[in-house]
Amino acid sequence: MISQVHTVEEVLEGIQHAKAKATDFRTNFFPVQARIQAWVSHGELWRAARESATFFLRKDRDFWHFYFCAASPMALEREAATVAELKTERVVTDLVGRESELSDPVASLQSVGFREYARLRRLVRAGRAGESPFATGDVLADWAEESDCASLLRLIESAFDPYAEQLPTLYEVEAAVRQQQVLVVKYNREVAGSLFFETQGFASTVRFWVVAEEYRALRVGSALMSAYFKSQNTVRRFTLWVNACNTNAIQKYGHYGYAPDGLVDHVLANQTIP
């Protein structure tokens, strides 16, 4: 049985409970406190406490993300098998690392009903002081406004797989717009394309770079990327995640200097997800 999490302290206690019994601690749960607080505040986070493990389930649209903190691989398999929601609800989970490190945890989760769903690759790019902007013609990007948020979310949802690619909620889009971390190009006041990113200190991650299909021949994507690099000119390390099967996107990112660094994200889904 799972119970709703009401405070950040409950999360920290659950993690510590699993660590206290650890002989070979395993986890895929690494959110920053601000993100945990947002999940808790919006009633999205639930917990299942077990003898040697604590599991967290985060509600996202019509499915759940599964996170584990287990004392050992054996504890992960044994205790996860008792979480009924893994059999009855739509659930996905992520395992991040290098390929050579992931075979054992993937096997552990497969033993309780998960299967391979998608694989993402991390791409990186070094910051380049004083670099020239990319040619974009007369297409200009600007910061998104509050009135754009619903349109931005619809555009993202139309282009990305919600099970594989950690789509934002409306409140996350609104927060990013307030923090000037969403760029847009508009035609006739309609959002033609967007670049949604997250910058912390000297590191920046592109979360979603998307252009509506009817505008893809108008250099909208280039305008967004150029504006992004120009606005983040103190960043030293740029990163992003891309579906390993999306060779077109990988090639486009390569054009802007991104390259794989060897880190992968295995997205696993349970049997209720087709």
Tell me whether residue 212 is in a domain: yes
Please check whether residues 165 and 83 belong to one and the same domain. Answer: no
Please check whether residues 139 and 209 belong to one and the same domain. Answer: yes
Mean pLDDT of 212-224: 94
Please check whether residues 55 and 144 belong to one and the same domain. Answer: no
Q: Which CATH number covers residue 149?
A: 3.40.630.30
Domain that holds residue 186: 128-235
Please check whether residues 139 and 229 belong to one and the same domain. Answer: yes
Q: Residue 125: which H helix or E strand, with range?
A: strand 115-126
Please check whether residues 140 and 222 belong to one and the same domain. Answer: yes
Q: Residue 45: which H helix or E strand, with range?
A: strand 45-49
Is residue 207 classed as helix, strand or coil in its secondary structure? strand
Q: How confident is the model at residue 137 (pLDDT cuts 50, 70, 90)?
A: low
Is residue 162 classed as helix, strand or coil in its secondary structure? coil
- Give the tens place of pLDDT for each residue, 26-44: 999 998 999 999 999 999 9
Please check whether residues 132 and 230 belong to one and the same domain. Answer: yes
Please check whether residues 9 and 81 belong to one and the same domain. Answer: yes
Please check whether residues 83 and 132 belong to one and the same domain. Answer: no
Q: What is the pLDDT of residue 1?
A: 84
Please check whether residues 133 and 231 belong to one and the same domain. Answer: yes
**pTM (2 decimals)?**
0.94
In 3D space, the residue among 185, 209, 210 whose CA is nearest the CA of residue 198 turns out to be 209
Tell me whether residue 101 is in a domain: no
- Give the tens place of pLDDT for each residue, 248-273: 999 999 999 999 999 999 999 999 99
Tell me whether residue 121 is in a domain: no
Please check whether residues 82 and 136 belong to one and the same domain. Answer: no
- Give the tens place of pLDDT for each residue, 47-68: 999 999 999 999 999 999 999 9
Tell me whether residue 245 is in a domain: no
Domain count, the chain: 2
Is residue 218 classed as helix, strand or coil in its secondary structure? coil
Please check whether residues 166 and 77 belong to one and the same domain. Answer: no
